[in-house]
Structure 1
Amino acid sequence: MSLGRQVFFWISALVVFILFLFVFRTILLPFVAGTILAYLFNPVAGRIERLGFNRLVATLILLGGFLLIVVVGMVLLMPVLSHQVGGFVSNLPGYVTQLQRWVVTTFQGSRLGSIFGTSLQDLQTSLGSVTSDAASWLAGIVGSVWSGSQTIISSAALVVLTPVIAFYLLLDWDRMTAQVDGWLPRDHAPTIRRLLAEINAGVSGYIRGQVSVCLILGVYYAVGLTVVGLNFGILIGIMIGVISFIPYVGATVGLVTAVGVAVAQFWPDYASIGYVIVVFVIGQFLEGNILQPKLVGEHVGLHPVWLIFALFAFGTLFGFVGMLVAVPASAAVGVLARFALQRYLESPLYRGTRNGNGSGAS
């Protein structure tokens, strides 16, 4: 097969895959979630097998333990989160009004108005309009997300199908991978295996590490913000943990939300507001200097900007399912791009053929 036909084949396969995701994006969540669980648990299942258990027992142990943890977590956290979400949404307009009053008061007592040539009345009008729109938007988003989350949690498809799909995939994982390996074109099988191994090493390391980071940060911020007395500290902490898989976005959104609530709740108690900021300073130090280097490191080998773009792009196109496949897809693209670049740098197209020495010198 010529190079042109190979390129056409792989591009066509990629287009078909993307169209498949787009068309069936509304029903793919339990299948993608089950596949991710099986992928994450497969190495652990292998270790359990080496202890003398068969594959069926290893699968049952892993999925049974996972389901037990999920059920216990839901029983313990759902009542608290439901109460805090309702309270946060109902208190949001009041918090916004208090923040507006604080900004106006601070502006009135400073020289900023004369520096920027803005009157207090203009500031009140503009800030009132902006905060009103922002409050309505944020309340709608929080309400819809929570409603959607409740729908997902109560969905029989997710609750029932995900463990079933994960069970069968995990049980047959080795057989399926061996079968797929048998379909590889023989001439290119070693190269494809090497690329797949690089993708697997990056994706598995990143996902397992990032899940650990998100769990640790969620628990830390939930406990820390609750200890310093911040309203809705558990909700804000868990929210930070959940969105911490987006580089820099989780910490930024969490900081803005927590400090905004702290100012509205504690002002003019500077000490209490400072305690909230200290919690974030410590959290960012732990994440940047301990958790990320130790648990995640450079597994994916992708720039944070590319990861952020991939998460938002896939999320926009395919919804929550897209966000689940964004990191594996971007890691695969990164590995293939580096492979293509390496081939280009080794090719006559880059090196040139002048004087027959490949140096490109004239």
Structure 2
Amino acid sequence: MTDSHRWLWLAGLLLAGWLVYQLTPILSPFLVGILLAYLGDPLVDRLERWMSRTWGVVVVFTLFGLLLLVALLVLLPMLGKQMVHLYQLAPQILDWLQQRALPWLQVRFGLSESFWQIGHLKALFTEHLGQTTDIASQLLSRATASSLALLGWLGNLLLVPVVSFYLLRDWDILVAKLRALLPRRQEGLVVKLVSECHEVLGAFLRGQLLVMLALGAVYALGLMLVGLDLGLLIGVLAGLASIVPYMGFVVGIGAALVAALFQFGGDLYPLFGVAAVFTVGQLLEGMLLTPLLVGDRIGLHPVAVIFAVLAGGQLFGFTGVLLALPVAAVIMVLLRHVNELYKLSDLYGKDSPTG
């Protein structure tokens, strides 16, 4: 590649980054549509064995719609009730922390009495506790105060299924046309790099997201069977946190043990039940879910996932969060090839001079 070509590629990358930054306010529905189309493409490809691709897309959309309807009608109201219940219990939890848990820690670790500022948190929750029933009216008044913003948000929400439907229907055609535009000399290398990026993203997005959903269901059902009042909420949060391996276990068991101590006091059986639920979840993840859904494909490192999501959100907001994992996968694949080229170069293989 000549110097002029290198500068041309660099200018193209800078222009693409500038365009992404300028179009950030309108990119979100298109990125969500692309993500849904990418996730649904393998299922539609399998359905093409028995029906046309358009009908396969209709079947997949119907399935997604039913799942979304179940979540809206069943899961969200239950989660809303538990969140309101948690908010109402917050002063009592702070009292329990101040009168029982924290004194034990102070005696155990020799901390001063002024180390914890629980009183300020309790006063804050108590002051705003009476406003919980007025949350809906406050949200509605803020939304209607800016009708244009509300219409824009609704428009973006309705745009997502439209974009994902057409992209999913024409996915193979678009991929073929993009491949036809590649320079003939570099087609093999570009296809290889894209295939590795697809493998990484597929292993993480399709595999790890299914693991996340399965663990969320296991944790939520198990904690509800134990009798934990906030079992559904903690189980769902633990499942969402499982998008980063092992984080869901740490977050979930910590929150569940605190909730069990507050609800059941010193009774050991609920604590053993909580520990059993998360132990079963980890065994299922390690022995069944991860080998079955993710396999031995190389995914993104947990630290890379955390950094990519935080960096994307800091730079580009919600659009950056959506772009974080694909960009991280591309960078990871490119760094892997740069490492291979470096090890094949004279710089790596040349012997050090002897004195």
TM interval, shorter chain, is 0.7 to 0.9
Which residue of structure 2 lines up, in the alignment, with residue 355 of structure 1? none
TM-score under structure 2 length normalisation:
0.83
In structure 1, the residue matched to 2:253 is 255
- Equivalent residue, structure 1, for 2:170: 172
2:218 corresponds in structure 1 to 220
- The structural deviation recorded for 1:83 is 1.2
Deviates more, 1:293-302 or 1:263-272: 293-302
Task: Quote the residue 1:182 is aligned against.
Answer: 180
Deviations 1:98-120 (A, max 9, x none): 12322244247x5x35xx4x4xx
Q: Is the 8 A contact 1:99 1:260 kept in 2?
A: no
2:283 maps to what in 1?
A: 285
Distance 2:258 2:61 in 1: 40
Query: In 1, distance between residues paired with 2:257 and 2:23?
Result: 40
Give the TM-score of the pair, scaled to structure 1. 0.82
SS at match of 1:28: helix
Structure 2 residue 62 is the aligned partner of structure 1 residue 64: yes
Greater Cα shift, 10-19 or 324-333 = 10-19
CA contact (8 A) 2:200 2:300 kept: no
- The one-letter code sitting in structure 1 at the alignment partner of 2:52 is N
In the alignment, what sits opposite 2:236?
238
Residue 307 of structure 1: which of 305, 308, 314 is its match? 305
Aligned position for 1:132: 121
Go from structure 1 to structure 2 and tell me whether the alpha carbon gap of 1:12 and 1:270 turns closer, same or farther (over 3 Å shift). farther
2:197 counterpart SS class: helix
* Contact kept in structure 2, 1:100 and 1:131, CA below 8 Å: no
Given that 1:30 and 1:162 are in contact with CA atoms closer than 8 Å, whether structure 2 keeps it comes out as: yes
Residue 23 of structure 1 aligns with which residue? 22
d(CA) in 1 for partners of 2:16, 2:202: 21
Aligned equivalent of 1:356: none
The number of residues matched between the two structures is: 337
Distance 1:297 1:102, change over 3 A: farther
Q: 1:158 to 1:259 in 2, by over 3 A?
A: farther
Residue 63 of structure 2 aligns to which amino acid in structure 1?
G
Alignment partner, residue 342 of structure 1: 340
* CA-CA distance at 1:73 after TM superposition: 2.4
CA contact (8 A) 1:203 1:299 kept: no
Give the deviation of 1:169 after TM superposition. Answer: 0.4
Letter in structure 1 aligned against 2:121: S
Q: Distance in 2 between matches of 1:297 and 1:315?
A: 29
Counterparts of 1:88 and 1:221, CA distance in 2: 18
**In 1, distance between residues paired with 2:166 and 2:36?**
11
Q: Distance in 2 between matches of 1:209 and 1:32?
A: 20
Cα gap change, 1:130 to 1:292, in 2 (>3 Å): farther
**Cα drift, residue 229 of structure 1:** 1.1
Give the superposition deviation at 1:209.
0.7
Q: Which residue of 2 aligns with 1:99?
A: 97
C-alpha distance 262-14 of structure 1, shift in aligned 2 (>3 A): farther
Change (3 A) 1:299 1:323: farther
Please list the CA deviations of residues 216-272 of structure 1 after superposition, one character each: whole Å capped at 9, or x if unmatched. 011111111111111121111112112211233332222222222222211122222
Aligned to 2:81: 83
Measured against aligned partners, the alpha-carbon deviations of 1:162-219 in whole angstroms (never above 9, x if no partner) come to 1111111011112211111122122211100111111112211221111110110111
2:57 and 2:196 map into 1 onto residues whose CA distance is 26
Deviations 1:312-338 (A, max 9, x none): 222332333333332221111111111
Unaligned residue ranges in structure 2 (runs of 5+) = 130-134, 144-149
- Mapped to 2, the partners of 1:68 and 1:93 lie a distance apart of 38
Alpha-carbon distance, 1:69 to partner: 1.9
Q: CA deviation at 1:7?
A: 4.2
The more displaced of 196-205 and 270-279 is 270-279
Quick one: distance in 1 between partners of 2:119 and 2:28? 36
Q: In the alignment, which residue of structure 2 is the partner of 1:196?
A: 194
Aligned counterpart, 2:294: 296
Distance 1:313 1:43 in 2: 30
User: Separation in 1 of the partners of 2:67 and 2:251?
Assistant: 28
Q: Which residue of 2 aligns with 1:42?
A: 41
Give the root-mean-square deviation of aligned CA atoms. Answer: 3.2
Counterpart in 1 of 2:132?
Answer: none
Residue ranges of structure 1 left out of the alignment (5+ in a row): 353-358
Q: Distance in 1 between matches of 2:83 and 2:291?
A: 33
**Contact preservation (8 Å) 2:98, 2:118:** no
Looking at structure 2, the residues matched to 5 and 351 of structure 1 have their Cα atoms a distance apart, in angstroms, of: 30
C-alpha distance 253-340 of structure 1, shift in aligned 2 (>3 A): same
